[in-house]
Structure formats: structure tokens, C-alpha cells
Amino acid sequence: MRRTSALFPLLLLGLAVTLVSRDPQLDPRLKNSARLPERNGWIEVHLEGSPAQIGFQHGYLLAPEIQDTLRDIAAEMTHDEKKDWAFFRNAAREILWPHVEQEYRDEIAGIVEGVNARGVKADIWDLAALNAWLELPYYDKTLTAGGGSGATAEHCSAFAATGSYTKDGRVVIGHNNWTSYPSGERWNIIFDIVPVRGNRILMDGMAGLIHSGDDFGLNSAGIIITETTITGFKGFDADGIPEFVRARKAMQYANSIDDFARIMKDGNNGGYANNWLVADRKNNEIASLELGLKNVTLQRTTDGFFVGSNFPADPKLTREETNFDPSDRSLSANARHERWLALMQQYKGKIDVAAGQKFLADHFDSYQGKVDPGERSLCGHVELSPRGMGDWQAPYAPAGAVQNKITDAAGAQKMTLSAALGHACGLNFKAGPHLQKHPDFAWMKDIMRDMDARPWTKFGAR
């Protein structure tokens, strides 16, 4: 969920290689895996087996997409953080990798083997840095800002509701992912993972990541997970467990909200600090885990709602770990928070999947008191904003809501979710006209594509 530069990555990563076709049946590690035909822009993959097998299947089946994603993320990170890709590879190797447990080391190594088998040159540190791309800027800012005074950006809008707030009294949970359009256009994988240990997982994600990244998914134990980042957060513990490891482990092994909170808090490194929204369809309980580095709060209910729009909720966390101003109604996070509260009351007793889809397409600006798609609407359009926001300070930055997901208790019981690529409101983004009108973003030319709004599509474990 950020931005990036363009010419250097192909040479540095050695990714300018023709993919080699090969009979999948020649490698027994591909048994029980599948890549399904694309649906409305989404690529579905089924992965099954040991960590090494799952990784190999992932790398082999998604090799072209991993090649493309590495190129984009390397370009965005080097542009944004003003560091070369070698810096992030080294940080992944020296700072994060010592704290990655063997199961996920094996899976990442398997991805490398899979992409290499298809003729894509990438190594373990490329894939480790790719998996950590959302949290490495937190580490970087502790170096460049003298121990953590640099603050990170905001991404995403989300809600979870249950009890008297929903139509059937059971849980409903939805999320839209806010990021740069180049990275968002590549957030189009639906992973159906059956590991030998832990729960089956259905989640969205990017090619090459062992975790969702924007963290929307559900498991066969009935746990549904999403999050939004904490705006302006600062702090990182280099001795902690990487966020991408804890997020994947929680998705795979949590059987309850207590399990989820325990896994996420254990070894918390402060990277990619989020307010996590979690639901347990078995008892229709929802929770909010605001996971700072120093301040952690867990709230839960069987009758109510939690919303996320990048606002820090705990005053102590806000004061000690962010540079956020909760009193400024013009800020995107505050305006969207205000809108969420209004929608929860307006739709109390009527919230279902259809209502949630409307929420994620909403264009009302609470600060202005009118419909105006921009950085303050739940369906974010930073590209229409004359002032930018958060990580995208430049006016008219090509960023905002890039895709959407939602499910309810009945859907989660069947291991299904609905997802829509692009803006849920139906507005399309065209790269060419935008770049012509706003030449400040010419550095994105080689990585940015059109982002059309696609219809809601249902996906399920196969």
C-alpha cells in the first residue's frame, strides 16, 4: 500500500526473463494444486500440502504475476523511501529473517523454487523483502528519523457488525483496500490454501505474498479477519517477529478471537501497525484489536459494531505512538470515521452483504456535508483530490480504494466471500489521461495500468 520508481528493478532483480512453459505433471509437488480461469480480473489459485509444496505451487502457478509484482513493488519502494532495492533485501535478511519461523521460511523458499522453475530469476531475499514490503518502511523510518519520529501512512476502510445491527443478527464484515493504483492493480489473487497443519484459508492477496497483505480472509475454524492501518504511527522493534509472519500465522492457526489476539501480540514488532477487526461466525462475536507497539487494546461484543478508517482509537496510543490529530475533521481518517458512525446508525438492524457493498461504494464527504468522491469518502479517490492525503501528499496522486471484499456468517460457513476489483462505486481509472494531466507522476508510467471497476464476484474454497 504505497508508491514507487521505474527503471532499475528489472536489472537489479534480473527479472527480464522469458517464462519457460513446462508440463505441470512432471513435478509431483504440483499435485492437488490449480490455477483457475480468471474471473472479473481475479486470479484464483488452490494450494495444498506441506509448506514447501504450497510455496512451490504458489511460485510456479503465479510466476508471471510474481515477476510483475516484484518489479512494481521494487519501483514504488525505492521511489518512496529513497533507498535502493539492496537496502530492503538486506533489511529482510538481517533484521526480519532471523525471526521468521521455519514453516514460513520453507514456504518462501518454495516460492523461489517455483518461480525459478518457470525461468524467473528471483532469490530468497527478493521474496522476503516482497513479503515485508508493508512493514519495512516502518523500520526504515526508525533509521532516518532518529529512532522513530517518522510516521507512516493510512490505508483502507472496514467494518464489522453483529447482533442488533445486522439483518439476521449474525456477523457481517467488509473491507476496501486503499493503496497506490500501481500496487492495487496487482492485488488480485484469491488464495485457497489447504496446509497440512492449521486451518484452511480463503483470502485475497498479491502474487508472492504468503499473507494477504491487506488482510482480508477467513478460515475453516470460522474466524474472519481484516484491518485498517493506524495513521501516523511511529515505532519499530527490530527484535520482534515480522508482521507478515504473525498475520499469516493468525489466519492459519486462530480458532478463536483469543487465539488471534495472542498470535498477533506475541513478538509484536510494531511493523504495519493496524486496528484489526475480527469476527467469529461460531458465536457471532466481533472484536477490535488496536495493535500499537507500546499500547494494545482489545474490545469485543456480540451486539454492536467496530469500524476502521485509519483513526487511532485509544487516546494514549494516539498521544504516545502517532502524530495524528483526532480533532481535525478535515482529515480523511476522521471524516471517514464520522461517516461510518452515521451509516451504522442509519442501517441498524438492516446490515447485510448488500448494505455493506453500498458502504464500500459510498462517496459522502462528512467534512463538507455532501457527496464528493475524494480522499474523505469511504470509496477513496485520492486521484480526484487537490490536496492528497497521508502517504500520497501530492495533489491528485493516483491512489485510493483499489478493491473490495465482504462476507457474512452464512458465507463464511461455506468458506465463501464476495470481492470486486477497482472502485466499488463503478468509476474507472484510466492511466493515460491521468498521467497526461498530472505529469508529476510520470515516474509511474511503466508500472501503472488502467484500473476498471469490476462487478462483485463470489469466490469459495474449491
Alpha-carbon span 234 to 322, nearest angstrom: 6
Can you read off the three cell numbers belonging to residue 163?
447482533
What do you get for the CA distance between the two ends of the chain, in Å?
29
Kindly give the pairing relationship between strand 189-195 and strand 43-49. parallel
Give the mean pLDDT of 193-210. 98
Over the chain, what is the mean pLDDT? 92
- pTM of this structure: 0.93
Domain extent listing, the chain: 8-29+44-144, 157-460
Element of type H or E holding 86: helix 85-91
Q: What was the pLDDT predicted at 390?
A: 72
DSSP state of 167: S
- Read off the pLDDT band of 352 (50, 70, 90): very high
What CATH number does the domain located at 157-460 have?
A: 3.60.60.20
- Exposure string over 324-336, b if 16+ CB within 10 A, otherwise e: bebeeeebbbbbb
- A 10 A CB-CB count for 71 gives 23
- pLDDT tens sequence across 366-418: 999 999 999 999 999 999 999 877 777 789 999 999 999 999 999 999 999 99
Looking at the predicted structure, is the pLDDT value of residue 207 above 60? Answer: yes
Alpha-carbon span 25 to 334, nearest angstrom: 53
* Cα pseudo-dihedral 332, 275, 218, 417, rounded to 10: -10
E strand intervals along 330-440? 364-365, 370-371, 399-408, 416-421
Question: What φ, ψ does residue 297 adopt, rounded to 5°?
Answer: -130, 140
Beta-bridge partners for 268 = 241
Q: The cell 453483529 sits on which residue?
A: 162
Q: Which of 63-67, 135-139, 167-171 has the lowest mean pLDDT?
A: 135-139
Q: What was the pLDDT predicted at 23?
A: 53
Looking at the predicted structure, is the pLDDT value of residue 19 above 70? Answer: no
Q: What was the pLDDT predicted at 9?
A: 37
Q: What was the pLDDT predicted at 149?
A: 39
Can you read off the three cell numbers belonging to residue 79?
521511489
Q: Enumerate residues 6+ apart whose C-beta is below 8 A from 76.
A: 2, 3, 4, 5, 180, 182, 183, 447
DSSP state of 299: E
Give the mean pLDDT of 13-27. 46
Q: Enumerate residues 6+ apart whose C-beta is below 8 A from 80.
A: 2, 3, 4, 137, 391
> Which overall architecture, per CATH, does domain 8-29+44-144 show?
Orthogonal Bundle (1.10)
Task: Please choose, from the candidates 422, 450, 425, 424, the residue with its C-alpha nearest in 3D space to the C-alpha of residue 435.
Answer: 450
- pLDDT tens sequence across 410-448: 999 999 999 999 999 999 999 999 999 999 999 999 999
Task: Please choose, from the candidates 184, 181, 268, 179, the residue with its C-alpha nearest in 3D space to the C-alpha of residue 229.
Answer: 179
Q: What was the pLDDT predicted at 142?
A: 83
Q: What was the pLDDT predicted at 17?
A: 32
- Read off the pLDDT band of 108 (50, 70, 90): very high
Alpha-carbon span 378 to 165, nearest angstrom: 19
- A 10 A CB-CB count for 260 gives 25
- Read off the pLDDT band of 153 (50, 70, 90): low
- pLDDT tens sequence across 233-263: 999 999 999 999 999 999 999 999 999 999 9
**In 210-304, alpha helices (H):** 243-253, 257-265
- Is 398 exposed, middle or buried (CB count within 10 Å of its CB: 0-12, 13-18, 19+)? buried
Alpha-carbon span 43 to 39, nearest angstrom: 7
Q: What was the pLDDT predicted at 25?
A: 54
**Is the Cβ–Cβ distance between 327 and 320 less than 8 Å?**
no
Q: What was the pLDDT predicted at 152?
A: 57
